[in-house]
Every structure is written in C-alpha cells, then in structure tokens.
Amino acid sequence: MSHQKLMLPAIYLNKLDIKETELAIKIVKDTFERELAQNLRLQRVSAPLFVRPETGLNDDLNGVERPVQFDIADLGADVQIVHSLAKWKRLALQRYGFAPDTGLYTDMNAIRRDEELDNLHSVYVDQWDWEMVITDAERTLDTLKATVRKILFALRCTQDTLHQKFSFLRKVIPEDIYFITSQELEDRFPLLTPKQREDAIAKQYGAVCIMQIGGKLKSGQKHDGRAPDYDDWQLNGDILIWYPVLDRAIEISSMGIRVNAESLTRQLKEACCEDRCSLPFHKMLLDGRLPLTMGGGIGQSRICMLLLEKAHIGEVQASVWPDEMIQQCEANGIHLL
C-alpha cells in the first residue's frame, strides 16, 4: 500500500498556509521558467498531451509502465497520454527549424498510472521539458556539465527571488554541484543500493549530478532504468539535491545528450528493442533527418517542494491519494491540496 511508503518527518513545520503556498508556487514557476529560458536560449512552444502510439513518440520510461490509452471517435483510432516529450521535442526542433545552441521548452503534463504514490511521486506529472540543438563536437560530458551548471544557476536565482518575499524559508540549493558517474558511485559505495548511494553522495555534497545511467555496471546491475532511444547512456545525467526536510536526496531533473544513429543502434540492441528501428521517429533518426540535440525534464512540483520546504508533493499540486495517506498526512500537519 502506498501509505506505507509515506515518509513522515519527526518534526514538521508547515511555514506557509494554503494561500501563501499558492502565491509562492506562482513565484517559483514564473521565475524559474524565465531564468531557464534565458540561460539556455530557449523559446516556449505548445506541446501535445497525447500522441498516436504507432508514431513511436511516446516515452517508454523503464519499459514496464502502461500508458493511459483512449479512442477518439472521429479519428477512428487510439491515442496515448504522453509519459514524457523526449522524442516529440527532437522532432519539433527539426520541424520548426531551430539552429544550433538554441532550443525550445514547454509545460509537460502527463499521467503515469503505474507510479507508486509517496512523498515524491504522483500520478500527475508536471515538468518543464526542454530540448536544444547541438553540434557533433558538443556531444561531450563537458557540454553536459556546463548545461547542468546553468540549470543550477537558474534554480539559485529562483531561490533568491522567492526569498525576497518569504525570507524565513531555508535555502536548499547550493552554490556548486558535484559530478560523478554511476560506475564511480558504485565503486565508492559497493555495499549500498543505488538509492542509498544517491542519498549518501547527495548528503555529502548538497547537489550532485550522477552521469552515465542506463547501461549495466560492473556488478551486472543498472543504477537505474533508461529507455534506449532518447538519452545516450554515456552522456546523460540525473540532478539530485539533498533535502533536509525528508533527510534524503530528491531528483529534480533527468537530462542528457540524445542518441545519434550509432548510439541508438547500440542501445536498441542491448535492450533487445531492435524492432523499434522501423518506427517513423527511429527511421528519421537513423537516416540522419533529425538534428543532434540535448534535453531533459525538470520537475515543477518537485522544485516547488524543495523551495517551499514541503514534505509531500501533494502540498504543491492537486492530485489523488489513498485515503490512508491523506489521513496520515493530516494527522502530521501535512495539508494536501
């Protein structure tokens, strides 16, 4: 049961009432969206809530999540609610004619029906999804690191703006971020689980980017699952922030340099998904008809949680929760919207 996964802080002080919370949410979202666009040279675009499954545009996440699917009468076909817009964004960059070192961002709303509900996970997903065109020479870890630092800078600017209105809120975004590969992390903490490793390294450094996620490590295990057809597993990363309220690391972004034809072929083979080569999106990529890109998703509600010192994602977004979880939250001063 999901309520059994609920984390209850030993001492929790809800510093903002509901009206103040809504005001703070708007400050955070407006500020971060502006800072992200300026720092990465992104233009806002509109994006779909659902796509046709035969296009291959939906994100398969870890390969086991079921998309929400429904039929459209006039279309005479089914469509799927997106899990993310990783592939759609790359196609949009090609269609809209974006030049290198420019890109797009959008509000991504999704439904993930198979999420295990807890303090950080909701059926309703809201992200800033972004994507930018890069050159072949920019397909490096140095490019990834430089972009991560720009995102962290945008977060710090947002934190500072929020602090002007609510100075009593604690600042949780540090000045710098530590980079480590998933294999280096396993080597450092071989006896810990991947989640325990994330907590350990984030607590030590405050902010960390774990790179090269998707392939098997020396132990034979993966640090985490990744779909084989958007991120290059050698050039991606997750941004995590240490969060004292819950005494754990919180992932705020999964991002990376996207696959080219070579890495797509290799990863599809490794994942036993070579049948996807016949899908329209994948054929365009293999034929060299899509630009080289990098991009990611940044959790809107998770950033609001962090900056507003909330203990549950349901305090900053309206969703649905098990009755037992709602009751436990109320009994502990956690007021879900």
What is the identity of the amino acid at 287? D
Q: What radius of gyration do the chain's Cα atoms show?
A: 20
Q: Are 89 and 131 in contact (CB under 8 A)?
A: yes
| Catalytic residue positions, numbered | 59, 112, 127, 238, 251, 254
CA-wise closest residue to 319 among 29, 2, 27: 2
Q: How far apart are CA 305 and CA 328, in angstroms?
A: 18
- Which residues does residue 178 pair with via DSSP β-bridges, in sequence order? 208
Q: Are 240 and 250 in contact (CB under 8 A)?
A: yes
Q: How far apart are CA 223 and CA 226, in angstroms?
A: 10
CA-wise closest residue to 111 among 73, 32, 58, 45: 58
* 248 three-class SS: strand
Q: How far apart are CA 118 and CA 136, in angstroms?
A: 40
Q: Are 239 and 155 in contact (CB under 8 A)?
A: no
Q: How far apart are CA 118 and CA 177, in angstroms?
A: 26
- Residue 166, Cβ neighbours under 10 Å: how many? 16
Q: Which residue has the tokens 């233009």?
A: 43
User: 262 Cβ partners below 8 Å, 6+ apart?
Assistant: none
Q: How far apart are CA 111 and CA 79, in angstroms?
A: 13
